[in-house]
């Protein structure tokens, strides 16, 4: 059984940023939750869907949601990066990476795609996720950038001097039987003080930001529309459960 976890930066120079399915594949199911979803419930649903996708019994799916405030520990998490262990619930998870925060105002997108029917190339998939986030930010005139020495998507912060920059989006994935799990999170309007209970993704030299902190009064619905539009550019057509 093939299973891999992405936990650190890998070279992606020259990799294609599109990740389209083979011709004739049905559109990706696009699900949006309006209520907060508990982390254990999300993991259970993701496990179920990934198993069914691997067996050809379910459509590839992108699931957009928000969690109540919590911290998750990836496979590379270090205990000393959990600064306030009693602040919010802490969940161990099989995704790559270190500690991260999820909470209201942050758009989490769990992405379950069948790489066998796209390209069985995890590095290329990571590059495509980054491209999706960067294109989404560009829709709001925000320049998102990759960094080869650390994960996530970063923005140069206009209120910080010199080379000040903050993380605005995070990635953490797992691949089981060539079906992807977990995905990305984009800070729309979370309480940024909640990140203070951890060292986010093990990076101490830089902070975190959000679209609203950057002066953009966008709504979650605005972000969802942009994410779907740019997802289709990178990964191909989508459909909603009502289609």
All domains in the chain, ordered by first residue: 24-236 (3.30.930.10)
Rounded to 10°, the helix 122-138/220-235 angle is 140
Q: Between β-strands 165-176 and 3-5, what pairing exists: parallel, antiparallel or unpaired?
A: antiparallel
Q: Which residues pair with 155 in a beta bridge?
A: 166
pLDDT at 207: 82
- What is the tens place of the pLDDT at every residue in 15-33? 666 788 888 889 999 999 9
> Which residues are catalytically annotated?
201
Whether 235 has a binding-site annotation, put simply, is no
Q: What is the pTM of this model?
A: 0.90
Whether 196 has a binding-site annotation, put simply, is no
Q: Which is more confident, 131 or 23?
A: 131
Residue 10, pLDDT > 50, answer no
Residue 125, pLDDT > 50, answer yes
At a CB cut-off of 8 Å and minimum separation 6, what does 71 contact? 82, 87, 88, 89, 90, 91, 99, 100, 101, 102, 197, 198
Whether 183 has a binding-site annotation, put simply, is yes
Determine how many CB atoms are found less than 10 A away from the CB of residue 84. 12
Percent of the chain with pLDDT over 70: 88
pLDDT at 4: 46
Percent of the chain with pLDDT over 90: 67
């Amino acid at each position: 059984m093939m299973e891999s976890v992405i936990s650190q930066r890998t070279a992606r120079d020259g990799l294609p940023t599109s990740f389209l399915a083979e011709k004739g594949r049905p559109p990706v199911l696009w699900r949006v939750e309006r209520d907060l979803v508990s982390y254990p419930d999300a993991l259970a649903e993701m496990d179920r869907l990934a198993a069914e996708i691997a067996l050809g019994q379910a459509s590839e799916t992108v699931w957009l949601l928000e969690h109540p405030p919590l911290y998750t520990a990836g496979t590379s998490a270090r205990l000393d990066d959990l600064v306030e262990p009693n602040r919010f619930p802490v969940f161990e998870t099989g995704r790559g990476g270190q500690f991260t925060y999820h909470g209201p105002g942050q758009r989490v997108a769990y992405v379950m795609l069948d790489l066998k029917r796209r390209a069985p190339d995890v590095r290329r998939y990571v590059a495509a996720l980054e491209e999706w986030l960067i294109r989404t930010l560009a829709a709001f005139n925000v320049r998102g950038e990759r960094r080869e020495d650390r994960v996530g998507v970063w923005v140069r912060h206009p209120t910080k001097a010199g080379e000040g920059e903050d993380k605005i989006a995070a990635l953490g994935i797992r691949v089981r039987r060539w079906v992807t799990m977990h995905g990305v999170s984009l800070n729309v309007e979370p309480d940024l003080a909640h990140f203070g209970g951890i060292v986010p993704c093990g990076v101490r030299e830089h902070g975190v930001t959000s679209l609203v902190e950057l002066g953009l009064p966008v709504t979650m619905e605005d972000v969802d529309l942009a994410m779907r539009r740019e997802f289709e550019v990178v990964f191909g057509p989508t459909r909603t459960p009502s289609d």
